[in-house]
Amino acid sequence: MATIGFIGLGNMGGPMLANLVKAGHTVRAFDLSADALARAETAGASRADTAAAAADGADVVITMLPAGQHVRAVYMGEGGVIGAARSGALLIDCSTIDVDSARAVATAASDAGLLMVDAPVSGGVGGAEAGTLTFMVGGPDAAVEAAHPILEIMGKAVVHAGGSGTGQAAKICNNMMLGIQMLSVCEAFMLAKRLGLDAQKLFDVSSKASGQCWSLTTYCPVPGPVPTSPANRDHAPGFTATMMLKDLKLAQDAAATNDAATPMGAAAAGLYSLFCNQGHGGMDFSGIIRMIDGQS
């Protein structure tokens, strides 16, 4: 069993930490939120007063943070993880951030004699709670091999995408596809509604035909066809519209930097920006069907 420092205990980090504790690991938790720390203690973790204290002497340090600037600060800033971690420790960043930040932090970790992987996740809060996340992992072979046993506690699939930063590249490409696909499914159901085609009948056809995709068969944006989808909970989030917009913006920034044409991704980012600006950022991203339907 390992001693693990876990930094960032939000909607995803909290349940991920709980699964590590259930597996028998000793976990020291840090977050700026007192409520999040209290939940971590209830799950069986101990409380650290700073990020450096969580990392001090730990075998593994895991972070789940909002954006690249937070990851840079926590790892490379004054009192950061890289300065506090013991030699040879394994660092796992599960945040979804820009590729440049991921590579900058990985280089700093390597220079300090530490192993590091970027390991963003797919699967949402439900996957975090169930331990069924998919990890897209970037980093050197030795670091990825060391990370596998830890990641497998929290997820059902661990895919080594390549060198440092490629986990982030895989995540933003995947979520750009997801954002575009969800919009296409929403548009199709709203067209069907206006054509007098029952939503269940469209689902029955498309789930077995060429329109089949995860946004339809697992996360259907209309109530009924998929009982576990957020549409049956008034679009309460699994994965918020704000988080989808963040990932779409990361994809657009990467496309601009690397001269990649992503017109559908740009259109998706624009629509999710409009939806969030209407005050719906805290709703599940599938809730954008309401805007497409003309609802307020």
Rounded to whole angstroms, the Cα distance separating 161 from 141 reads 11
pLDDT at 238: 85
pLDDT truncated to tens, each residue of the chain (296 aa)?
899 999 999 999 999 999 999 999 999 999 999 999 999 999 999 999 999 999 999 999 999 999 999 999 999 999 999 999 999 999 999 999 999 999 999 999 999 999 999 999 998 888 999 999 999 999 999 999 999 999 999 999 999 999 999 999 999 999 999 999 999 999 999 999 999 999 999 999 999 999 999 999 999 999 999 999 999 999 999 899 999 999 999 999 999 999 999 999 999 999 999 999 999 999 999 999 999 999 97
What span, in angstroms and rounded, lies between the C-alpha atoms of 177 and 55? Answer: 35
Q: What is the pLDDT of residue 111?
A: 97
Residue 45 backbone class (left: φ over 0; alpha: ψ -120 to 50; beta: rest): beta
Q: What pLDDT is recorded for position 134? A: 97
In the prediction, which pLDDT does 249 show? Answer: 98
- Residue 125 confidence (pLDDT): 87
- Rounded (10°) angle between helices 263-275 and 241-257: 150
277: tokens are 């600006």
* Global confidence as pTM: 0.92
| Secondary structure (DSSP) of the chain | --EEEEE--STTHHHHHHHHHHTT-EEEEE-S-HHHHHHHHHHTPEE-SSHHHHHTT-SEEEE--SSHHHHHHHHHSTT-HHHHSPTT-EEEE-----HHHHHHHHHHHHHTT-EEEE--EESHHHHHHHT-EEEEEES-HHHHHHHHHHHHHHEEEEEEEESTTHHHHHHHHHHHHHHHHHHHHHHHHHHHHHHT--HHHHHHHHTTSTT--HHHHTT-SSSSSSTTSGGGGTT--SSBHHHHHHHHHHHHHHHHHTT---HHHHHHHHHHHHHIIIIITTSBGGGGHHHHTT--
Kindly report the CATH number that applies to the domain delimited by 169-292: 1.10.1040.10
CATH class, domain 3-163, is: alpha beta
Residues with a catalytic annotation lie at: 171
Domain boundaries, the chain: 3-163, 169-292
